[in-house]
Amino acid sequence: MIDSTLPDSMNFTIKVLDWYDRHGRKNLPWHAQKDPYRIWVSEIMLQQTQVETVIPFYQDFMCRFPDIVSLAEADLDEVMTHWAGLGYYSRARNLHQAARKICREHGGCFPQTLDEVMNLPGIGRSTAGAILAFSGDARHPILDGNVKRVLSRYHAVEGTPGKRETEKRLWALADRHTPEVRVAEYTQAIMDLGALVCRVRNPLCRECPVASGCLAHAQDRVASFPVPGNVRIRGHLHKPPNPHTTWILPL
């Protein structure tokens, strides 16, 4: 249970949504979509990849594979051809496998429960929650890299995000802030806030709608969160050379 001394969650949520109404990204090709398939593809493409890079690949992919059945019936080689240049190719293989699983087990209709979506190849809890929130406004918290950064800083969460207890706390915070209404917009809002304002480097704290309640900002420790952890490379543990280093490893 989250202690009662935490900043008011409703105040946080209202401010994030108000900021999104004025400054959030609303013209991306997958926005205003309610088709869970198209949302799913965009969410997978956006993992480890910048929005600007994803847009042309997404548009091409949707032209060739406009629905789950067309993706499931395609040869993997053709799917990989349309993914070429986007990187992290296991994502494309998982998409193809998942499409075939959906056709085989769900009659070609994207599943509608969190457990069923998480049971598809390449989809974890955060991605599953985002797909269901965007497609049906279902209330599921998300915890992608941007959201982890926002919540880690706002609540000054000590501990490496990869650790079980830290992850558990962050999920509890994500759930606490997720509203009962406007779930899809809030989900996009907090992701945009992390991508555009609460950035990894040079965060724009003066433009942040929740800076007044941010504990890391109040402590002048924004660059210290999220707490960096050790990284395993070729069987050895390595620490980042300084607390501001961000490690990005292949999936």
Of these residues, 43, 52, 167, 185, which one is catalytic?
43
Residue 232's H or E segment, with its range, is strand 231-233
The helix (run of H) or strand (run of E) holding residue 187 is: helix 183-196
Residue type, 93: R
Does the annotation count 116 as an active-site position? no
Residue 169's closest CA among 13, 2, 27? 2
* Alpha carbon distance, N-terminus to C-terminus of the chain: 32
- Rounded distance between C-alpha atoms, residue 102 and residue 116, angstroms: 10
Q: Which of 69, 96, 68 is nearest to 82 (CA)?
A: 96
Continuous segment of H or E residues that includes residue 237 = strand 236-238
CB atoms within 10 A of CB 54: 21
**Two tokens, residue 231:** 């990284």
Q: Which residues are catalytic?
A: 43
